[in-house]
Structure 1
Amino acid sequence: MKAEYWTIAGCAIFFAATAPIYWFLTYDPTGTTALVMTLLLCTLLGFYLGVVAKQIPDRPEDRAEGDIAEGAGEQGFFPPYSWWPLFCALALSVVVLGVVFGWWLFIIGVGIGALTLSGWIFEYYRGVHAH
């Protein structure tokens, strides 16, 4: 996590230097606000990665003498294909169309959205990929 921390901290330092320069060159409040918000986002993420880096033991990637073979093994759970995000997006489009055309369509979209979102959340609790 130390490499990730330093990458994000470097971005925060860059935006901390860029925002005042941009303000004094352009006096544009919108761009300056965007740069400051990006600085705050990088600071928040860098703080999180720094705290997590202190809590976990050194990974092979974090040590100069680390070997590639030390990182072997299971890296995590990567889900296979899923159709649920497509159905959730379709339900969201019905909700948005409901705002345009009428509340009755909005309510139908919310109902379909609740069904598809619960299907996506509980997809790995039943069926072929249950664990």
Structure 2
Amino acid sequence: MRVQGWLFLACGLFFAAVDVAYWFWTKAATGQGEPVGTTAMAISVGFAFMVGYYLMFTARRIGPQPEDNKQAEISEGAGEIGFFSPSSWWPLFVCLAAAFAFAGFVFGFWMFLIGVFLILMAMIGFVFQYYRGNFSH
């Protein structure tokens, strides 16, 4: 994980350099810096540093991983990685409910409230999908 952390920190430094260059370039071209692009790139700097910090913090907590060792074999990374859903329809229902709720901003508050209720029901189904049926445990 340490390698990935350094990669994200390096990306954050690159984004910061590009952000500063962009600000100076737009300031020279228009007489004032362009705030939207500069802010968007500053947010990408923050996100890259945030992910890099998290990965470095986690790497320090869990110790060295096989991908951190240059002499590691592929077989050292074998084993269970985690649980991945074989198939689930719930993300589709969550998105449809969210679309319904956002359409409520246009058509009326009553539609928004129904959409929020549908989002809550879909989220409950999404979270508890493995507690019943074929995949219960």
Instruction: Report the TM-score when normalising by structure 2.
Output: 0.87
Alpha-carbon deviations, 1:43-88, whole Å to 9, x = none? 1111111111111121111101211111111111111111111111
- Counterpart amino acid of 2:95? A
Matched, 1:110 2:121: no
Matched, 1:11 2:17: no
Give 1:33 shift: 1.6
1:68 alignment counterpart = 74
- Counterpart amino acid of 1:40? G
Aligned residues: 131
Structure-2 separation of matches of 1:68 and 1:4:
17
Matched, 1:32 2:6: no
Q: Which runs of 5+ in 1 are unaligned?
A: none
Percent of aligned positions that are identical: 44
- Counterpart amino acid of 1:65? Q
Give 1:16 shift: 1.9
Q: Which runs of 5+ in 2 are unaligned?
A: 28-33
Which of 45, 51, 59 is the aligned partner of 1:45? 51
Structure-2 separation of matches of 1:22 and 1:102:
42
- Counterpart amino acid of 2:127? I
